[in-house]
Amino acid sequence: MNVLDCIYKRRSIRKYSQKPVDDETLITLVKAATAAPTACNTQPWEFIIVTDDEVRKELKSKLYFGNYDAPAAIVVCGNMKLAMSGPVKDFWIQDCSAAIENILLAATSMGLGTLWIGLHPVESNYRPLYKIFDLPKEVIPLAVIFVGYPEEEKEPRTQFNEKRIYWNKYEPRKHRARKKNTKKL
Amino acid sequence: MNVLDCIYKRRSIRKYSQKPVDDETLITLVKAATAAPTACNTQPWEFIIVTDDEVRKELKSKLYFGNYDAPAAIVVCGNMKLAMSGPVKDFWIQDCSAAIENILLAATSMGLGTLWIGLHPVESNYRPLYKIFDLPKEVIPLAVIFVGYPEEEKEPRTQFNEKRIYWNKYEPRKHRARKKNTKKL
């Protein structure tokens, strides 16, 4: 699949077939993730692949906004022993986010659907995962990525808006913010 | 170009030809960026495309680790009036990072090279950009992405390391952290 087509085709998929995703495919997704750039090449990431039914059920029951029946999930974590320290410490978030986007695109190109459930920095979102996965405190779950064969179709799209582009100089413009449904969070 | 091949082929390019990147191509990169998912579909981003020689020179002179002669740059910013508020506010960083990864991959697929220069959360990194671009305080520059035709070749790679994958349960392992060259920062 052409790269631009794949970027537009990637959509958040919430309905999945129960066809399992094989281990090799899941490993390929992590290989794609680890090809992302990281600040000073720190590679501050770790990945927990979830395929076990009991663990999936527990994860689903504990996640806010995680009530989806995907046959697999990848928990993308930053390990603070691997991340940089000092003022550059939080670059791990950007590194792991780039890795996640690689997972989403690689999955799309392989006919899979994905959903990115953001956890960190919302402590109540990610705290339950310490118990589910026996995580040590230096490991911070940034997001859960659900993975499976899609049972819904969505149109490719870019949400391009020319009002968000500037050439060489910023200028004040009125933007319409998206409705913020933060009340539920 | 196949998506996985593109993900592996994307490398940080530091040597560029002076052949200009045309405006339409730069807009395509932003279209790719804005196809990335965002928390609650907030689309908290703005993009400043830099092609003007004077602005490029000023940017280069003010950036830490930004001494590269790319014919174009895209400054990826979060606009706090567009971002969510409360504990979920900082999801804009993950949203913009996914958008950046899309820029890098779209560029790679079009024969371009890129370099991601991280700014936020390091205040001394991003403060100079307020003056260069007349930015209001609600706009935070997350990164500068240099864009141009590459004058160096790098091998495709994944930095996959099986010790960073876990199946269904975390387990303590000894990881070798990359050497942290934070002293320079």
Residue-wise pLDDT tens digits, A120-141: 999 999 999 999 999 999 999 9
* pLDDT at A39 exceeding the cut of 70: yes
Which ranges in chain A belong to alpha helices (H)?
3-9, 23-33, 53-62, 91-109, 123-126, 128-133
Which ranges in A76-135 belong to alpha helices (H)?
91-109, 123-126, 128-133
Residue-wise pLDDT tens digits, B79-104: 999 999 999 999 999 999 999 999 99
* pLDDT at A178 exceeding the cut of 90: no
Asked, for residue A39, whether it belongs to a domain, the answer is: yes
ipTM of the complex: 0.96
The mean pLDDT of chain B is 95
Model confidence at B107, pLDDT cuts 50, 70, 90, reads very high
A98 to B100: CB separation less than 8 angstroms, yes or no: yes
For the record, the structure tokens of A9 come out as 């085709």
Kindly list the distances between the CA atom of residue B80 and the CA atoms of A2, B117, B133, B137, in Å, as whole numbers in the listed order.
Answer: 34, 21, 17, 9
* pLDDT at B146 exceeding the cut of 90: yes
Asked, for residue B180, whether it belongs to a domain, the answer is: no
How far apart CA A123 and CA A8 sit, in angstroms, is 32
Q: How many domains does chain B have?
A: 1
Residue-wise pLDDT tens digits, B134-145: 999 999 999 999
Asked, for residue A170, whether it belongs to a domain, the answer is: no
Asked, for residue A47, whether it belongs to a domain, the answer is: yes
How much is the pTM?
0.96
Kindly list the distances between the CA atom of residue B26 and the CA atoms of A100, A101, B103, B104, B147, in Å, as whole numbers in the listed order.
Answer: 24, 20, 9, 12, 9
Write out the residue range of the structural domain in which residue A112 sits: 8-150
Asked, for residue B121, whether it belongs to a domain, the answer is: yes
Asked, for residue A173, whether it belongs to a domain, the answer is: no
B97 to A102: CB separation less than 8 angstroms, yes or no: no
pLDDT for B177 equals: 78
pLDDT for A180 equals: 54
Asked, for residue B102, whether it belongs to a domain, the answer is: yes
Residue-wise pLDDT tens digits, B24-59: 999 999 999 999 999 999 999 999 999 999 999 999
Q: Tokens 């969505």, residue?
A: A154
Distance from CA of B137 to the nearest CA of A (A): 11
Closest residue in chain B to residue A156, using alpha carbons only: B35
As a whole number, mean pLDDT of residues A144-159 equals 97
Helices (H) and strands (E) in chain A, counts: 6, 5
* pLDDT at B127 exceeding the cut of 50: yes
Q: Are B75 and B50 in contact (CB under 8 A)?
A: yes
Residue-wise pLDDT tens digits, B150-184: 999 999 999 999 999 999 999 999 898 776 554 44
pLDDT for A177 equals: 78
Model confidence at A165, pLDDT cuts 50, 70, 90, reads very high
| Overall size of chain A counted in residues | 185
Closest residue in chain B to residue A143, using alpha carbons only: B94
The CATH number of the domain where A34 resides is what? 3.40.109.10
B159 to A32: CB separation less than 8 angstroms, yes or no: no
pLDDT for B64 equals: 84
Asked, for residue A167, whether it belongs to a domain, the answer is: no
